[in-house]
Chain A
Amino acid sequence: MKRNVVSLTIAVLFLTLAVTGVMGFFLPFNILTVSVHALLGFVFIGSIALHLKNNFRQLKNYFTSKTALLVILCVAALVAVILLQPKPVLAILGLSKNLGPAADRFELKDTKMIYNYTPAPHYKMQLNFKGGRAFDAEKPPRVAIWLENTSRYHLKTLYHSKAPDAQQMLPYWHYKKSEYEKYKAESEAAEKAGKKQSEDVDALSSATPNESFDPADYIVPKDPEKETPYRLLIEINAPDDGNEHYPDQPSLVYVVEVDNKHPRSYQVLDLVGYPKSEMDEEEGEIEWSLLYADGTITTAHDLFDSALLLIERSDPIK
Chain B
Amino acid sequence: MKRHFFVISLLMLISVWVFFAIKAGEEKTSYQSFQGNIFGTRYQVQYHAHEQLDMDAAEIQAQVEKLLQRIDKIASTWKANSEISRYNRAVAKDEFQLSDELREIITLSEQLKTSTGGAFDIHHQGEEIDVSAIAKGYAVDRIAEYLHDELAIQNFLVEIGGEVKARGHNAKAEPWKVAIYIPPSHSHIVGPRVTLSNTSIATSGLYFRENHIKNAETGHAPDHDLLSCSVIHPSNTTADALATALYVMGAEAGLAWADQNEVEAIFIKSDGSIIKSVQAQR
Contacts and interface: CB of A to CB of B under 8 A. Distances in A.
Interface of A: 149-151, 187, 189-190, 192-194, 197-198, 200-212, 217, 226-229, 282-283
Interface stretch (B104-112, B146-154, B204-212): B204-212
Interface stretch (B10-18, B90-98, B122-130, B170-178): B170-178
Interface in B27-44: 36-37, 40-42, 44
B78 interface: yes
A202 B168 CA distance: 13
> Which 7 residue pairs are nearest across A and B when measured between Cβ atoms?
A206-B181, A206-B162, A207-B205, A208-B161, A201-B177, A151-B40, A193-B184
Interface string B162-195: 1110100010000011111111100100010110
A58 B212 CA distance: 73
Interface of B: 36-37, 40-42, 44, 46, 65, 69, 72, 76, 78-79, 136, 157, 159, 161-164, 166, 170, 176-184, 187, 191, 193-194, 201-212, 220-221, 228, 230
A210 B37 contact: no
B104 to A, nearest CB: 21
Contact of A150 (B78, B203, B205, B212): B78
A207 B162 contact: yes
A202 B40 CA distance: 22
Tell me whether chain A's interface is mostly helix, strand or loop, or mixed: loop
B187 A203 contact: no
Contacts, number: 119
Contact of A193 (B36, B177, B182): B182
B231 to A, nearest CB: 10
A204 B205 CA distance: 14
Contacts of B230: 205
Contacts of B157: 202-203
Contacts of A228: 37
Contact of A200 (B72, B177, B204, B221): B177
B197 to A, nearest CB: 11
Contact of B183 (A151, A190, A202): A190
B203 A202 contact: no
A242 B212 CA distance: 38
8 contacts: A149-B40, A189-B184, A193-B184, A205-B163, A205-B230, A206-B180, A217-B37, A282-B221
A274 to B, nearest CB: 21
B178 A282 contact: no
Contact of A226 (B65, B161, B194): B65
Contacts of A227: 69, 72
B184 A205 contact: no
Contacts of A205: 162-164, 178-181, 194, 201-203, 230
Nearest to B212: A208
B178 A203 contact: yes
B162 A210 contact: no
Contacts of B166: 202-203
A228 B42 CA distance: 12
B133 to A, nearest CB: 9
A149 B78 CA distance: 10
